[in-house]
């Protein structure tokens, strides 16, 4: 039987550690890699960085916005990156934050968990249209051994107004997300395949997640102000399920230092988060 | 000086009326047009429908999910559709519901309001990461005469738990969206360029929008259960700013009847919403 996303994530934790590399080919990153801010520059960036990521066989999170910048050609490059990474055994979490009503969510389910060229291991999704509206993507992901990460509490300061608002039943918006994710993981043995996004910058990040089997994607290491050293404190109680993610902090060192910086940061995270 | 999105929207209202055609090439729609569910089928669908949309010169809302289904080739087709529609004078609202933290929102701003091939007249965006996080796209849209529609109250039943949750200041989540949009339209003369998405299915849809200059994108006509006849009641007080949107209900009639069905529905909306 096919392994679930949760099982493959557990295997990756044991083999490489929990660090996730955020693949964000922004204008600044392309400049740091001495490349033009064009789709040809994006292609050259991928040629340069994919071998190091493939060799590590860890977790990589491409950010869709920085591929969409280049329109159809950008998506063609994203498709190529997804193919190379998955063929190498890298676990790919596409950070696209898709969220829509059910019929359109079926379109996104087809796109990222169908038989097409954009197949990913996991996708980030946005619950603004209601957690129930996410069901088509969750169902399709689980059916093919994939996973999702639902936005819950993000790393940016301006997010709390909405994400901590109180729903009619007295629970906060992000607690509704946690409850839905716990429900979707009911049948998981070990680590679940349905995770949450909780910013590494939040000091009480684990509250309400202790009883869940949800993996916790934690962006914000590096440029957004969190260091790996905060993880044991911010994620106490769920530390063995945390995926700390670093994007600009890693990529901005440029092509000469990237592989060594990746090795060092990965080791630091593995040491801090002993499984 | 370049016309603002709000000005071009006003001109389109006067010339054609307020109806927006939701371009959703789903599996079911491609079947209704006797086409295979492939990127070649998508291309053939666009070849068949774009001339009628270009001739009408109204408002068209492509749904990104149904192009992304086909990966890079789907995005290449989306790029082609955007180019044809905009060159014909159609007002294009891309329904992509993008939402992210500031740095990634800059990527989406580049994608849809930059000099690249995906340029649109307006984009739907998602405020889950905080309305302030949307600023880069809003700023860039206004700078180039574009617009955005921020998700506020969507047409699906399961959305109310989150969208009507109460923030720390006692206001509902969607009221925060309305307030931000009102602020962003401060300098607009006449119709603003920053709008909201409010489902046509909601009976009290206009509450809180009366003082605003925001255009109101109102999906849900047709398959989701609202008829054009509910608009004067649901949107009393903001009726001259409503853009009723119909997708599956229009497209599912197939190629022979589409142009006539479009003409009839457009006339019905124009009659009901006298400007």
pLDDT means over runs of 10, chain A (275 residues): 92 97 97 97 98 97 97 95 97 98 94 95 98 97 98 91 96 96 93 96 79 92 84 91 95 96 95 82
Closest-CA distance of chain A to residue B101, Å? 7
Average pLDDT value for chain B: 94
Other beta carbons within 10 angstroms of residue A186's beta carbon come to 9
Position B145 scores a pLDDT of 97
Instruction: Please determine, for residue B183, whether its predicted confidence score (pLDDT) is greater than 70.
Output: yes
A103 in contact with chain B, both atoms CB, cutoff 8 A: yes
The residues pairing with B194 across neighbouring beta strands, listed in sequence order, are B148
Q: For B24-61, what is each residue's pLDDT tens digit?
A: 999 999 999 999 999 999 999 999 999 999 999 999 99
Chain A touched by B83 (CB under 8 Å): no
CB B14 within 8 A of CB B7: no
Segment B115-172, tens digit of pLDDT: 999 999 999 999 999 999 999 999 999 999 999 999 999 988 899 999 999 999 999 9
Mark which residues 37-66 of A lie under 8 Å from B by CB.
63, 65-66
Question: What ipTM goes with this model?
Answer: 0.96
* Separation CA A85–CA A51 (nearest Å): 9
pLDDT score, position B253: 95
Q: Which residues contact B161 (CB under 8 A, 6 or more apart)?
A: A130, A131, A167, A168, A176
- Active-site residue, from B8, B97, B98, B241: B97
- For residue A225, what pLDDT is reported? 76
Per-residue pLDDT tens for A92-134? Answer: 999 999 999 989 999 999 999 999 999 999 999 999 999 999 9
The two tokens of residue B141 are: 């849209």
Q: Do B158 and A117 touch (CB under 8 A)?
A: no
Site from A29, A43, A81, A111 to mutate, B interface, most B CB atoms within 10 angstroms: A111
Does residue B275 register a pLDDT over 80?
A: no
Residues in chain A with CB shorter than 8 Å from the CB of B173 are 162, 165, 173
For residue A105, list chain B residues with Cβ-Cβ distance below 8 A: 65
**Residue showing tokens 């087709």:** B77
Show which residues of A are catalytic: 97
**φ and ψ at B66, to 5 degrees?**
-80, -5
B87 vs chain A: nearest CA distance in angstroms?
Answer: 17
Phi, psi dihedrals of residue A258, rounded to the nearest 5°: -60, -50
Minimum Cα–Cα distance from A110: chain B residue: B69
- Facing A71 at nearest CB: one of B66, B118, B127: B118
Instruction: Please say if the pLDDT value at position B274 is more than 80.
Output: no
C-alpha distance from A99 to closest chain B C-alpha (Å): 7
Chain A: closest CA distance from residue B64 (Å): 9
The confidence score (pLDDT) of residue A275 equals 60
Please give, rounded to a whole number of angstroms, the shortest distance from the CA of A199 to a CA of chain B: 11
Using a CB–CB cutoff of 8 Å, tell me whether B113 touches chain A. no
Phi-psi region of A17 (alpha: psi -120 to 50; beta: other; left: phi over 0): left
8 Å CB contact of B117 and A66: no
Q: Look at B72 and A117 and tell me if their CB atoms are within 8 Å.
A: yes
HEC letters along A42-77: HHHHHHHHHHHHHHHCCEEEEECHHHHCCHHHHHHH
Cβ A275 vs Cβ A15: under 8 Å: no
pLDDT level of residue B204 (50, 70, 90 thresholds) = confident
Contact (Cβ atoms closer than 8 angstroms) between residue B199 and residue B220: yes
- Put simply, the chain A residues between 127 and 166 with a CB less than 8 A from any chain B CB are 127-133, 151, 154-156, 158-166
Element (H, E) at A132: none
Q: Do A68 and B108 touch (CB under 8 A)?
A: yes
Instruction: Name the pairing type of β-strands A194-198 and B147-153.
Output: unpaired
Cα–Cα distance, B235 to B73 (Å, whole number): 39
B262 confidence band (pLDDT: 50, 70, 90): very high
Paired with B221 in beta bridges are B226, B246
The residues, any chain, with a CB within 8 Å of residue A182's CB and separated by 6 or more, are: A211, A212, A213, A214
Tokens of A137: 């993507």
Cβ-nearest to A156 among B76, B95, B102: B102
CB pairs under 8 A between A and B: 218
**Per the structure block, which two tokens stand in for A128?**
């603004």
Whether B97 is catalytic is yes
Select the residue of A99, A127, A166 nearest B166 (Cβ to Cβ): A166
Contacts of A162 in chain B (CB under 8 A): 127-128, 130-131, 165, 167, 173, 176
Could you say which residues from 222 to 261 on chain B have a Cβ atom under 8 Å away from some Cβ of chain A? Answer: 248
Tokens of A31: 């400049």
C-alpha–C-alpha distance, residues B98 and A69, integer Å: 13
Backbone angles phi, psi at A74, to 5 degrees: -65, -40
How confident is the model at residue B1, as a pLDDT? 65
Q: Which residues of A touch B66 (CB under 8 A)?
A: 104, 107
Name which of B107, B129, B162 is nearest A159 (Cβ-Cβ): B129
Is residue A130 within 8 Å of residue B156, measured between CB atoms?
Answer: yes
Does pTM top 0.90 for this prediction? yes
Return d(Cα A139, Cα A148) in angstroms, integer: 10
Find where tokens 């109460």 sit.
B166
A84 close contact with B: CB closer than 8 A: no
């Amino acid at each position: 039987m096919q392994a679930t996303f949760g099982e493959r994530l557990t295997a990756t934790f044991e083999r490489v550690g929990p660090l996730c590399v955020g693949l964000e080919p922004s204008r600044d990153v392309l400049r740091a890699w001495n490349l033009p801010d064009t789709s040809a520059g994006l292609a050259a960036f991928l040629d340069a960085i994919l071998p190091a990521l493939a060799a590590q066989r860890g977790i990589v999170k491409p950010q869709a916005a920085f591929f969409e910048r280049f329109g159809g050609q950008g998506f063609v490059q994203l498709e190529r990156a997804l193919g190379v990474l998955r063929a190498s055994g890298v676990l790919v979490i596409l950070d696209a934050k898709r969220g829509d009503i059910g019929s359109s969510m079926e379109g996104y389910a087809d796109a990222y968990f169908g038989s097409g060229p954009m197949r990913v291991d996991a996708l980030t999704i946005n619950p603004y249209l209601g957690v129930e509206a996410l069901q088509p993507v969750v169902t399709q992901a689980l059916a093919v051994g994939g996973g999702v990460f639902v936005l819950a509490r993000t790393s940016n300061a301006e997010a709390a107004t909405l994400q901590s608002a109180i729903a009619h039943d007295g629970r906060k918006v992000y607690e509704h997300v946690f409850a839905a994710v716990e429900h979707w993981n009911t049948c998981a043995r070990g680590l679940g395949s349905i995770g949450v996004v909780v910013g590494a910058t939040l000091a009480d990040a684990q509250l309400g997640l202790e009883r869940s089997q949800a993996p916790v994607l934690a962006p914000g290491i590096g440029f957004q102000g969190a260091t790996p050293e905060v993880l044991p404190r911010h994620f106490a109680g769920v530390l063995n399920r945390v995926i700390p993610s670093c994007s600009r902090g890693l990529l901005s060192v440029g092509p000469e230092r990237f592989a060594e910086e990746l090795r060092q940061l990965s080791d630091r995270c593995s040491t801090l988060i002993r499984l």
